[in-house]
Structure 1
Amino acid sequence: MEMDIEKRTLRRITWRIVPFIMLLYFVAYLDRVNIGFAALTMKEDLGFSASVLGFGAGIFFWGYFMFEVPSNIVLHKFGARVWIARVMVTWGIISGCMAFVEGATSFYIMRFLLGAAEAGFFPGIILYLSYWFPARHRASVTALFMAAAPISTALGSPISAALLEMDGVMGMHGWQWMFVLEAIPALILGVVVFFYMTDKPEQAKWLKDDERAWLVKAMAEENASKAGNAKHGILSGLANPRVLALALIYFGTSAGLYTLGIWAPQIIKQLGVSSMTVGFLNAIPPVVSVIAMVLWSRHSDRTGERTWHVILACLAASIGLVIAAGANSVVGLIAALTIVNVGISCAKPPLWSMPTMFLSGAAAATGIATINSIGNLGGFAGPAMIGWVKDQTGSYAGGLYFVAGLLVLSAVLTLVLARSTKPVLETANAAAR
């Protein structure tokens, strides 16, 4: 009987929550990386070098870094509904204003402000999922949520490429139209969030009474079971060595993810294809990665194993970047980028299942935000290094090797973390099965 209630409840909350947060992340990721497509024409219109483009694209993450932890603390205190609505409306406004940058300085400022505005969204959703889904189901649910990023690339690439064709309409460049039109969904969804989201299971009137009672009880028991080992205070989340280790691991995966998001269109374009062709080719790798991510995370949940699911995925992505650096044909490059996409996408869900094994409450809010804010600085390091190396050498290869090295480091750190904290992480993962 209880098993029936569990299945029924999980099915209901999954259908209520997951498609909606996937839509939110779809829009967030599109607004975050559409600079990669804008740059196909924007860099000539504004006279940007590869270094300016890489630095400006990456400085987004410094704004993210500075405001991430405070944002997640506010979300934990006041609830996801109000705060995520605020985040979306603010970033929608700033993303639209990207259409009016006139030079390097204004480009840097707007990208920094966009990062500050969006700070708290991703870790806020990860924290939000920990309120609703038991740990043994969390990697699979996180994978569904995170699948929105590659889906955003797959669908957004041809859309962004098509919007670039609006060049000259009403006296605006195509990249300006792209920024304005792709910002509108964030503004609309920000209003929808305020009326649609439910902060906690206790408030879920859309659940049946027995479903709500089961979920509240299950989450309370889970929190109580880790009360002896879990850290609860704000400082515990900031200072925990495991949090800092996970942040460094995430650094490498973020460098890989945003290398793809920002530079893949440029790397494909150099093979001599049109912008529209770039849009369609860039959509192929993320389609494959969505399928791989869901299957990989389900296997991680089923076995209760996290460590090797992260390590093997990071190593695969690293190998893909090395192959991409030497690829000189469209087929070879897209195959290599597919390997990178699959590796990075598969690493993230099991990685994000680790923090809430040893953190709860305010510590979980700050710990998750700390991992995301420090880790996402990889989104600055990777793209900025690739732009700098491209200007110095005329090739993307050196920058791709650098990011590949960061992913190998992530794999090594994951193994070290697992061995040094095995009683906490591996035992907790097994208990969550």
Structure 2
Amino acid sequence: MVALFMSGVAVAGVVGGPLSGWIMKTFAGLYGLSGWQWLFLLEGLPSVLIGIWTLFYLDDGIRSAKWLSEDDKQRLERAIVADGQHQQRLPLAQVFGSGTVWLLALVYFLFVMGLYGVSFWLPQLIKNSGVKDVFDIGLLTAIPYSVAALAMVLAARHSDRSGERRWHAAAAAVAGALGLVVATVYSDNTVVAMVALSVATAGILSTFPIFWSLPTALLGGAAAAAGIALINSVGNLAGFASPYLVGAIKDATGSTANGIYLLAASLVAGAVLVVVRRSPGT
């Protein structure tokens, strides 16, 4: 279910890539604004409005879900209680001092580093392969995201059936790293680069729904809320570090290649840490 939920990221890439290319090409120069400025306006405003709408529409829990019958609510509540029997319910102070939580935060940071290799640099990598038209680049970005949407669900379903998490997350991360490396090495070949970028996108995005089963299997109650918040906060710092480092390397070397290799190495490092450190319930 987490994979189905998070596949929205991939579906957004399928729709958003061509849409972004069309906006940048069609609206460039209109009313004195650049294409990227129109992109921010036309894609940013709906997000703000939907965020406000969600605040009032989204149910706050099982009890407040009007679309669930009373039997459904009771059955779900019993399932949550049973599922939480093997979870640790640590005091908040212990959560912030837990080595396992900080390890998961580091792993998530490394995975998010790799994620930005796709979400931030995918159009540039496609452009490097010889595609110059901004609309064509937008269309081609839909291909890796389409593959990723399917891969996320299939990988998570296989993980559920086997009951295994760590190796599934690690394998997805390594596949993502290999895809980034091959796409960079064969950056002058559009076909090879697109296949490699599809593997990279599928692998990287498949990592995340499987990864989030690790802290939720380990922590319960307030510990889960605090632990997930800590992991997410530390991990999302990669949203600054990843583009900054790749940009700095590009400025220093004149190429994004070494920066992409760094992101691939981050994915492999995260995979190694997931496999080496075993936690209860994972």
TM class by smaller structure: over 0.9
For residues 318 and 194 of structure 1, what CA distance do their matches in structure 2 show?
A: 37
Q: Distance in 1 between matches of 2:55 and 2:247?
A: 39
Contact 2:11 2:149 in 1 (8 A): yes
**Matched letter for residue 343 of structure 1:** G
Structure 1 residue 363 and structure 2 residue 223: aligned? Answer: yes
Match of 1:265 among 123, 131, 134: 123
Supply the distance in 2 between the matched residues of 1:322 and 1:279 (Cα, whole angstroms). 22
Residue in structure 2 matched with residue 239 of structure 1 by the alignment:
97
Aligned residue type for 2:243: P
CA contact (8 A) 2:183 2:192 kept: yes
Q: How does 1:23-42 map to 2 (within 5 A)?
A: none
Of 139, 162, 169, the residue aligned with 1:303 is 162
Of 262, 270, 278, the residue aligned with 1:402 is 262
Question: Is the CA contact (8 Å cut-off) linking 1:237 and 1:359 kept in structure 2?
Answer: no
Partner-residue secondary structure (3-state), 1:403: helix
Give TM-score, length-normalised by structure 2.
Answer: 0.93
Distance of 1:332 and 1:382 partners within structure 2:
25
> Is contact 1:259-1:379 (8 Å) kept?
no
Distance 2:242 2:262 in 1: 8
Which residue in the other structure is 1:290 paired with? 149
- CA shift at 1:272, angstroms? 4.4
Q: Match of 2:59? A: 198
**What is the letter of the counterpart of residue 197 of structure 1?**
L
Contact 2:131/2:137 (<8 A) preserved: no
Q: Deviations over 1:231-263 (max 9, x none)?
A: 243223322211111111112211111121111
**2:110 matches 1:249:** no
* Match in the other structure for 2:24: 164
Name the SS of the counterpart of 2:164 in structure 1.
coil
Q: How many residues align?
A: 279
CA distance in 2, matches of 1:172, 1:394: 29
How many percent of aligned residue pairs carry the same amino acid? 41
- Which residue matches 2:35? 174
1:292 touches 1:346 (CA, 8 Å); kept in 2? yes
Amino acid of the structure 2 residue aligned with 1:261: S
| Equivalent residue, structure 2, for 1:280 | 139
Name the amino acid aligned to 2:40: F
Question: 2 CA distance for matches of 1:313 and 1:218?
Answer: 29
Alignment of 1:340-379 (within 5 A): 340-379=200-239
For 2:243, the equivalent position in structure 1 comes to 383
Partner of 1:43: none
Contact 2:125–2:184 (8 Å) recurs in 1: no
SS in 2 for 1:425: coil
Deviation at 1:308, TM superposition (A): 0.7
The RMSD of aligned alpha carbons is 1.5
* Cross-structure match for 1:148: 8
Query: Is the 1:313–1:344 Cα contact (8 Å) retained in structure 2?
Result: yes
Considering fraction of residues, name the structure with more helix.
Answer: 1
CA distance in 2, matches of 1:194, 1:385: 35
Alpha-carbon separation, structure 2, partners of 1:346 and 1:209: 34
Q: Which residue of 2 aligns with 1:425?
A: 281
Q: Output the CA distance in 2 between the equivalents of 1:204 and 1:151.
A: 26
Q: Is the 8 A contact 1:255 1:380 kept in 2?
A: no
Residues 238 and 363 of structure 1 are in contact (CA less than 8 Å); yes or no, is this contact kept in structure 2? no
Cα distance in 2 for residues equivalent to 1:209 and 1:362: 26
Distance 2:45 2:131 in 1: 32
Answer yes or no: is 1:334 the counterpart of 2:190: no
Deviations 1:238-294 (CA, angstroms, capped at 9, x unpaired): 222111111111122111111211112122223242111110111111100110110
2:174 to 315, 323, 334: 315
CA gap 1:194/1:388 in 2 versus in 1, 3 angstroms: closer
Distance 2:256 2:180 in 1: 11
Structure 1 unmatched ranges of 5 or more: 1-140, 427-433
User: What is the rounded CA distance, in whole Å, between the counterparts of 1:272 and 1:314 in structure 2?
Assistant: 27
Name which of structure 1's ranges 190-199 and 399-408 shifts more when overlaid on structure 2. 190-199
The verdict on how the C-alpha distance between 1:323 and 1:155 changes in structure 2, with shifts beyond 3 A counting, is same
